[in-house]
Amino acid sequence: MNSNILKSKVNLFNQEFKLTVMIFLFLFIFKLFVIKDLFIVLKTSIYDLIILVFIYILFNFSRNTFTKVFFNLFSIINYVVLSLYYFYFFDVSQRVLNFSNFNKDLILFVINNLISIKLVIIILIGLVLFWSVSFIIFKRNIFLIKREYLVYSFILCIIIFIILIFLFKYTANPYVDTFLKINEKPLINLDESSPYLSNLFVNDKSFLNYDSNKFKYKKIIVFLGEEWSIDSFVVEKENLLKNNFFSEVMPHSNIYLNYHTTNQDSRTAIYSMLSSYFIPFEAYTDADVYIKYLNLIKTKNNLISYLNYNDYSTQFLVSSLEVPDTSYGFNWSQVNTLNKEVYDSKEYYCPDLFTYETACEDLSVIDDFKKIVLNNDNLFLYQELIFGHSYKNIVDTKKSRTQYYNDYFTQAYDFLKDENLLDETLIIITSDHGSRAQKNMLLPEGYNIPMMFIANDLNYTENNDLLSHLDFKDLLLNYLLDSNNIINNNSIMFIGGTNTNLIGFITKSSDYGIINVSSKQLFNYNLNNDSIKNISNDYYSIYKYLQNEYN
């Protein structure tokens, strides 16, 4: 850069400077109201400040119409992106959402499912407010500095940025996290040359027929937790100080310690669980794919149809006003949702974070639960629990998932006890999927979820067989028919959460691999490079083959 230009002076206190300050202050105040954690607010504000100063200095190197337009355009985009990011901070920060993940499908999903009118109004008010103020205040103030100091400041910002990248594995800022590496092991490149080996993984375990049988239990109650891993369950249940439901029912529980989800999204996990058919897709990014797998699931002989055929009333229960798409694809006797009057009463915690889900905590439908149980002699009740759909639920209530579920299960169990229904009831406690925090989805433990069967005539056992949601139907029938059919999986497969591009496998010898399918690379594994590459190529080929089945 010309030395004369460097020594020339610019007014640091220009409109762009004031706009930068206003954006920073608005984001800071916004985070105080939304995140409500001063340490997190201060930490994230450091990165906000670095990014804003970086762009401001870059703009002031050369002031012309083009750079002015660029600065204002970027300021708007940056402000909107960070406002959305911090509004959903407790969820997206766990998933390490960064700009390398952005694509058309993700943007459409966010627009259609996450951005409410209320949020849009808040963001627009802030935009108009700080833009107007930046033009009005201190119009005559002048603070001249040499351009060379801007160069030094620019270099300092880059140095600080680099230092932060090396110091922190996770910074809770989408710009910085874009440059961070999430894998700890060397990446292994895969290919598609392996043949499809059907004996490695069974993807279809749906019913062959609907033979009528005499069942052991009149009532089957399934409580489906949300994003609940077995690791957190084991730790959190030990910390329950009083009314420990899990300790009370332990003598009559069968626990499956090696049970896994098939999909790290609720919709596809529930579809696979109830149809016994593997869905090799992420759930929420491609509408065309959703229609394809939904239509295919409808053709399968599924658990709900089987129970309907055998005179069970199949009831789906959820504490949202809307009928959730997780109930689609199955011929339920009835789908039960939250009563509008209960929602309007404000008696319960109702977070309303998502545009697709107007919901309250699960206790808001406990009376509906009781009515359904009393009004149906032969009953299959499947309750999709709402608590835990957002990590903000945990922050707001100061309860872990296990703590909250413990309180709900205690009320439901006490009701069954008071009504003398425990002898004829089988209770199943599990989860749709495990943790969607990115660090957990790179480990097989991230897909390992609780699975408990509880009944008065059961004695405590622990089972370590390798199982997944595809085996739920066979597990249930073992209890209903009082049989002991052995479920022997050579391996299981699972799909990562939406927009992760991850698939994984675990073998019965406990070998595993986590694969990024977009880059065709193995991210995490437990064998030496040559062995795991060959095995991973086989499962990657299975994944590609199964995807083609939907076309």
Q: Is residue 229 part of a domain?
A: yes
First to last CA, the chain: 57
Q: Are residues 242 and 168 in the same domain?
A: no
Q: Is residue 73 part of a domain?
A: yes
Phi, psi of 499 (to 5 degrees): 75, 15
145 three-state secondary structure: strand
Q: Are residues 138 and 263 in the same domain?
A: no
Q: Which two tokens stand for residue 316?
A: 């789906």
Q: What is the CATH number of the domain that holds 339?
A: 3.40.720.10
Q: Is residue 32 part of a domain?
A: yes
Query: Are the C-beta atoms of residues 390 and 401 closer than 8 Å to each other?
Result: no
| CA-based nearest residue to 92, from 104, 108, 79, 81 | 81
Q: Please give the pLDDT value at position 6.
A: 45
Q: Are residues 250 and 156 in the same domain?
A: no
Which of 464, 490, 516 lies at the terminal end of a domain, its last residue?
A: 490
Q: pLDDT, tens digit, for every residue of 27-85?
A: 898 889 888 888 888 888 888 888 887 777 777 666 677 777 888 888 888 888 888 88
Query: Are the C-beta atoms of residues 452 and 430 closer than 8 Å to each other?
Result: yes
Q: Is residue 530 part of a domain?
A: no
Q: Is residue 506 part of a domain?
A: no
Q: Are residues 156 and 228 in the same domain?
A: no
Which of 490, 509, 528 lies at the terminal end of a domain, its last residue?
A: 490
Q: Please give the pLDDT value at position 145.
A: 56
Q: How many CA atoms lie within 13 A of 177 on its CB side?
A: 22
Q: Are residues 351 and 228 in the same domain?
A: yes
Residue 540 pairs with which residues in a beta bridge?
none
Q: Are residues 65 and 142 in the same domain?
A: yes
Q: Please give the pLDDT value at position 101.
A: 59
Q: Which two tokens stand for residue 200?
A: 């490695």
- Calculate the CA 248 to chain-centre distance: 30
Q: Is residue 250 part of a domain?
A: yes
User: Averaged in consecutive runs of 10 residues, what is the pLDDT profile of the chain (551 residues)?
Assistant: 50 73 87 84 82 77 74 84 84 65 66 73 80 68 57 69 64 60 69 73 83 87 96 89 90 97 95 95 83 89 93 97 92 96 93 81 97 97 92 87 95 97 97 88 93 97 96 94 84 91 92 90 82 88 87 68
Q: Please give the pLDDT value at position 239.
A: 85
Residue 102 to residue 369: CA distance in whole angstroms? 40
Give the largest Cα separation in the chain, rounded: 93
Q: Are residues 424 and 307 in the same domain?
A: yes
* DSSP 8-state secondary structure symbol assigned to residue 357: B
Residues with Cβ within 8 Å of residue 2, at least 6 apart in sequence: none
Q: Are residues 172 and 235 in the same domain?
A: no
Query: Are the C-beta atoms of residues 99 and 175 closer than 8 Å to each other?
Result: yes
Q: Are residues 359 and 441 in the same domain?
A: yes
Residue 166 to residue 153: CA distance in whole angstroms? 20
Q: Is residue 495 part of a domain?
A: no
Q: Which two tokens stand for residue 547?
A: 């995807």
* DSSP 8-state secondary structure symbol assigned to residue 63: -
Q: Is residue 358 part of a domain?
A: yes
Q: Are residues 260 and 164 in the same domain?
A: no
Which of 177, 199, 230 lies at the terminal end of a domain, its last residue?
A: 177
**Residue 71: domain span:** 3-177
| CA-based nearest residue to 283, from 521, 494, 53 | 494
Tokens 């439908």 found at? 365
What total of structural domains would you count in the chain?
A: 2
Q: Please give the pLDDT value at position 180.
A: 55
Q: Are residues 49 and 173 in the same domain?
A: yes
Q: Are residues 159 and 289 in the same domain?
A: no
